[in-house]
Amino acid sequence: MPILTEDLKSGAGHYIVSEASGYRSRDVGTIVSGAGVLKPGSVLGKITAGGAVTVTKTDVGGGKGALTLAAPAYGAGVKAGIYRVVIVEPAANAGSFVVEDPDGIIIGNGNVAVAFDGVVKFTLADGATDFAAGDIALVTVAIADPAAMGKFTLYDPAAADGSAVPAAILYEGCDATSADVKRTLTARDTEVHAAVLTWKAGTTDNQKAAALAALAAAHGIIAR
């Protein structure tokens, strides 16, 4: 008589101990092409940098000082497009500014001659001529392959594309070897059975513990 074996990690949502009522614990996300064959219960990271990032700048001009980019000049979550650095409160040899992202959303406030450390990173220096309200410097971000941004792949603590931050758990398996795949995700407010979760090969116990702590703190996904 043949022996039948069953993969206990093949069922959708097998790792769930409890979740919120209705579908509040779940979302739909895109698993990025190249992620491979993933089982339900795979711990996922979200890609926030889709490729090589190039940052350039344009000064205010008119002898009003220069914007110096940091190294690196961007952080996790940076978008492709033009960031505007707008002077809002000018002062002699000083002043303050706001930074608007490519969608026109204000993402932070800063001061002249003080490093701005956001998704773009720079220092706006004072020049021979004082700034005036409304003066603008530009930070232009180009991403070689932005198509992957916002998609999910296996959590990888060594990744530089944003997936080093755990973001969700795959509810149902998929094959994303050669194409993007939409799947249901456990995104928030869920108790999960830690022992049956699936991790990227090589993830250490310490890295798993840190990832579970991060899921609990940021998403309310609690490991039991």
Q: What is the pLDDT along the chain (224 residues), one digit of tens a residue?
A: 666 555 656 789 999 999 999 999 999 999 999 999 999 999 999 998 766 688 999 999 888 989 999 998 998 788 889 999 999 999 988 999 999 999 999 999 999 999 999 999 999 999 899 999 999 999 999 887 777 889 999 999 988 788 999 999 999 999 999 999 999 999 999 999 999 999 999 999 999 999 999 999 999 999 99
CA distance 163 to 29: 14
Please state whether the predicted TM-score (pTM) of the whole model is above 0.85.
no
93 and 68 in a common domain: yes
pLDDT of residue 8: 59
CA distance 154 to 177: 12
pLDDT of residue 48: 83
> Is 6 inside any structural domain?
no
Distances (CA, A) of 20 to 13, 51, 108, 144, 187: 13, 36, 34, 39, 11
pLDDT of residue 159: 83
pLDDT of residue 188: 97
89 and 166 in a common domain: no
> Is 109 inside any structural domain?
yes
88 and 118 in a common domain: yes
Distances (CA, A) of 11 to 15, 38, 40, 88, 184: 9, 12, 7, 56, 13
62 and 121 in a common domain: yes
Domain span at residue 203 reads 16-49+147-223
> Is 7 inside any structural domain?
no
pLDDT of residue 170: 98
Among residues 113, 143, 173, the one where a domain terminates is: 143
pLDDT of residue 50: 64
Q: Which residue has the tokens 């409890």?
A: 18
Q: How many residues does the chain have?
A: 224
pLDDT of residue 6: 52
Compute the 3-state secondary structure of the chain and give helix, strand, coil in percent, each to the nearest 5. 10, 40, 50
pLDDT of residue 160: 73
Q: Using only C-alpha atoms, what is the Rg of the chain?
A: 22
> Is 11 inside any structural domain?
no
Among residues 143, 175, 206, the one where a domain terminates is: 143
58 and 120 in a common domain: yes
Among residues 143, 172, 187, the one where a domain terminates is: 143
Q: Are strands 190-192 and 221-223 parallel, antiparallel or unpaired?
A: parallel
The strand pairing partners of 1, in sequence order, are none
130 and 69 in a common domain: yes
Q: Compute how many other C-beta atoms are within 10 angstroms of the C-beta atom of residue 80.
A: 17
Q: Contact, 26 vs 183, CB < 8 A? A: no
